Amino acid sequence: MDELKENRLFLYDRLSMAVCLIYSLCAFANMGKLEIRVLSIRADYGIVYGTLFLALPLFIYFMIRRLGESNSKAALFVRIFYVQLLCGFFFKESIVLSQLFSGGASYDALFASADHFLFGMQPSITFHQSVPESPLLTEIFFMGYFFFYPLVTVGWWWLFFRGRIEEAVRSLQIVTVSFYIHYLFYIFFPVMGPKYYFMELYVKWYDRFDGYLITDFMKGVFNNMDLGGAAFPSSHVAISLVSLGLNFKYNRPLAWAFLPFTMMLYLSTVFLYAHYAVDVIGGLCTGFLCLVGVPRLVDREAVTRLFERGSGYLSSDRESES
């Protein structure tokens, strides 16, 4: 591809580099607050991750440059979709930075009060208690929660392998920008979530949940990762709404198949006491705003120009389509 050989960058490439620099500054600002181990050596989180985030844009740039030297479909796939792995990394670190900046404080009392004011009870507790204990039902709820990951990835892969690469890139850019908006917000607005705030939920954690394969997998994730600090607004809800909307635009049959799983995803966030009900409402609001507003920030003509002089895999696809 001529554009990749010339080191042209997508919007999300440039934003990823910018977010790396913001995270680097945030990490350096928290030096001396957290000790970690790197290859069994004690080190300061702020120094290690501040340096890592500072170096990451160079790695991204040279990776893109190297992949641009290949016309293979596999290299193009990695070049386009590498950012999906980066989003997972940013999410985890936004939680760490949030806790460091806040010193462990959070706004959970406000959101727990909002839930009680709106619903007259705590949905994250009452909903969980009202559902009969059933391994099958538990598996369905955990499956709904897990469905977030294919929902925000598979549609763009499907477009890619069908040769609709411009639409895949545009969708990925909208989703990535939406992710970054939420992640940056989480750093400075910590809400831990019900399972960290309510002692009765924290003590029993997920011991009550008996299911099957996906239940065991997700319980392992919850048990081994600190996910407290990114509850409001729910990125699961917000980004799933953005992704569902984009799939209805570009992958309508796939979107209809995704719809019932997405509805179950919304319910599961409260059932698994990962979120307050107001987190879901907030996620629907920010998801709608992202779905409407972020495409205005994504210049479709810039994506078109990126491919209009394409060669190799892209040009052969277009010739076959014509």
Asked if pLDDT for residue 143 goes beyond 60, the answer is yes
Asked if pLDDT for residue 1 goes beyond 70, the answer is no
Q: Residue 91 half-sphere exposure, CB side, CA atoms within 13 Å?
A: 19
Rg (CA), the chain: 21
Q: How many CB atoms lie within 10 A of CB 30?
A: 20
Per DSSP (E only), the strands in 13-65 are 35-38, 41-44
pLDDT at position 286 is 98
Residue identified by tokens 């995704």 is 258
pLDDT band of 107, cuts 50, 70, 90: very high
pLDDT at position 39 is 87
pLDDT digits (tens, 9 = 90+) for 146-193: 999 999 999 999 999 999 998 999 999 999 999 999 999 999 999 999
Name the average pLDDT for the chain.
88
Token duo for residue 35: 């000790």
Q: How many CB atoms lie within 10 A of CB 227?
A: 16
pLDDT at position 307 is 53
Contacts of 311 (CB under 8 A, 6+ apart): 1, 2, 71
Query: By the 8 A CB rule, do 196 and 228 touch?
Result: yes
Please report, for residues 2, 69, 228, 247, the alpha-carbon distance to residue 6 in angstroms, rounded to integers and kept in the order given.
Answer: 6, 10, 42, 31
Query: By the 8 A CB rule, do 230 and 101 touch?
Result: no
Query: By the 8 A CB rule, do 180 and 90 touch?
Result: yes
Q: What residue spans define the domains of the chain?
A: 2-321
pLDDT digits (tens, 9 = 90+) for 21-53: 999 999 999 999 999 999 889 999 999 999 999
Asked if pLDDT for residue 85 goes beyond 90, the answer is yes
Q: Which amino acid is at 230?
A: A
